[in-house]
A and B are shown apart, each in its own frame.
Chain A
Amino acid sequence: MTRNQKTDLFDARAQRVAVLSDKVFGAPNEMDVVEAEDLLRAADIDPEELKARFHARFDGLAKTYAAKGQRVPPLLKQALADFRPGVSHSRAERELLREAQTSIRHLLKQVKQLPQLLAKLPSPRLAAAYRSKKELSEQDKKLLDEVVEDLQRRGCAAKGRKGTA
């Protein structure tokens, strides 16, 4: 038997075993990440340590690209991000987290700008019709006058701040 024939025979027999394996144990993609982690832990392999070792290998590979002055392939950059030690969330979870942080930052920025936004509003015209109401006592009218004065003072103060800002 020639070497090529031996190779063909070896491969054919190995592939038959692979087909049998898939029949008995299922297609490769039937094993999800939870099951895979359980299997590794049962063999005393910590999945987080495993990821850290792969990160070190990807880091070394990226450095060889840099040393040659070559551009790091996008998938290698993605691998470095996905395998970064201490990052326990999946990429989908990390994206959600990033979106939430962006929304909160945007909201806080708007809150900080609120006094300036209010100052841009035209000064309110305060109605004085209450003065002709006979049901109100002089004391009530005096209290309402104080409220009007207070609001006008605040409006002026806000405009003054805007002018100095």
Chain B
Amino acid sequence: MSVESADLSELAVRLTAFARRTFADFGLGGQDTALVGVGLSIEDFVWRVLEEYVEGRLEHQISRGDLFSLLATALRNDIIDSLRKAAHRREETRSPLPRERDSVDDPPSLDELPSNAAHFFAVLDEEEYRKRVLTALAAEPELTEMVHVILDLNVYRPREIAAALRISATEVQNRKKRLRRRFIDCNLAKGITL
């Protein structure tokens, strides 16, 4: 897709859906999730990348691929940056020493970390990620089978997946759509709000 023919409103819709997927990838759930510490919502992240693009701070060169891929990669990197900043901020406000008894002003100690702070690091674990994906698809044997093929046989091209599952490449694309939908929906219901 060339720069000239790209409809920005369509790109924004696709970016927002992709941001939801990225939030799900990192276990950031809930309808109006905003990253604590940076205070940015899904819509804010999409806006930041669109703003950078229209102001010319993020340039698209056709040799680097299509415009949507460029914006989506920038969006995901921005979410990762913000996650890291939020994680560091939480860590810096916590003392390695226990608080004095009755202290109200001291920062909480590491052993007082709430479960969702530890979540920052757990979501970056590949095994945990696999588990989260498979849990989201528990009621969908066809989708679970496909994920096992992708991860265990390390195949990801539609034709390779189709051959391994003995289905058509079109069916692979249909199942991938269902996969995305199921994962995002499940995250909306179960994800942890930071």
Contacts and interface: CB of A to CB of B under 8 A. Distances in A.
Interface stretch (A37-45, A107-115, A135-143): A37-45
30 contacts: A10-B124, A13-B125, A14-B26, A14-B124, A16-B126, A17-B26, A18-B25, A18-B76, A21-B25, A23-B150, A23-B151, A24-B150, A30-B173, A33-B10, A33-B13, A35-B177, A36-B17, A37-B17, A38-B181, A40-B17, A43-B188, A51-B9, A53-B43, A54-B12, A57-B47, A61-B51, A79-B54, A82-B8, A83-B8, A92-B7
Interface of A: 3, 6-7, 10-11, 13-18, 20-33, 35-40, 42-45, 47, 50-51, 53-54, 57-58, 61, 73, 75-76, 78-79, 82-83, 90-92
Given A37-B13, A40-B16, A51-B13, A3 B66 contact: no
B68 A39 contact: no
B133 A10 contact: no
A17 B9 contact: no
A75 to B, nearest CB: 4
B9 A82 contact: yes
B13 A40 contact: yes
B175 to A, nearest CB: 10
Interface of B: 5, 7-10, 12-14, 16-18, 20-22, 25-26, 31, 43, 46-47, 50-51, 53-56, 66, 68-69, 72-73, 76, 80, 83-84, 87-88, 123-126, 129-130, 133, 147, 150-151, 156, 173, 176-177, 179-181, 183-185, 188
User: Dominant SS at the A interface?
Assistant: helix
A36 B180 CA distance: 10
B54 A73 contact: yes
A17 B73 CA distance: 13
A73 B126 contact: no
Contacts of B22: 18, 21
A11 B68 CA distance: 22
Contacts of B25: 17-18, 21
A76 B181 CA distance: 32
Given A17-B25, A73-B55, A82 B7 contact: yes
Contacts of B83: 10, 14
A18 B80 contact: yes
The 9 closest A-B pairs by CB, nearest first: A28-B72, A36-B17, A13-B124, A75-B54, A82-B8, A14-B80, A76-B54, A23-B156, A36-B14
Contacts of A33: 10, 13-14
